[in-house]
């Protein structure tokens, strides 16, 4: 996730990191045994996020992007990152 503060996501592109996150969590937590039938099954997305109480990857990226934008906004007018953020040439 190097440099993800500068990534821009459309709604369609937000889907891929969520899929990756769910795939990794499923590998970590493994299958779940159904209490009624005793069969093994995949863990549903809601169950995954109940087991892993951290925020979604997209929320984390967006919050860190806002923190990065705040830091750049505090920079002076002479800094290149600030000029790019506010669109001044």
Local confidence band at 70 (pLDDT 50, 70, 90 cut-offs): confident
Neighbouring C-alpha atoms within 13 Å toward the C-beta of 50: 5
DSSP sequence for 17-34: HHHHHHHHHHHHH--EE-
Question: DSSP letter at 78?
Answer: T
- Segment 16-45 shows an average pLDDT of 86
Average pLDDT, the chain: 81
Instruction: Determine the pLDDT at residue 89.
Output: 65
Instruction: Determine the pLDDT at residue 62.
Output: 83
Instruction: Determine the pLDDT at residue 1.
Output: 57
Local confidence band at 4 (pLDDT 50, 70, 90 cut-offs): low
């Amino acid at each position: 996730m190097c440099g993800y503060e500068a990534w821009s996501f459309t709604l369609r592109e937000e889907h891929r990191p969520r899929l990756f996150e769910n795939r990794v969590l499923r590998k970590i937590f493994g299958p779940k045994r159904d209490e009624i039938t005793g069969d093994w099954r995949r863990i549903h997305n809601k169950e995954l996020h109940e087991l892993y109480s951290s925020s979604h990857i997209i929320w984390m990226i967006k919050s860190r992007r806002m923190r990065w934008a705040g830091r750049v906004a505090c920079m002076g007018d002479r800094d290149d990152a600030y000029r790019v953020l506010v669109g001044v040439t």
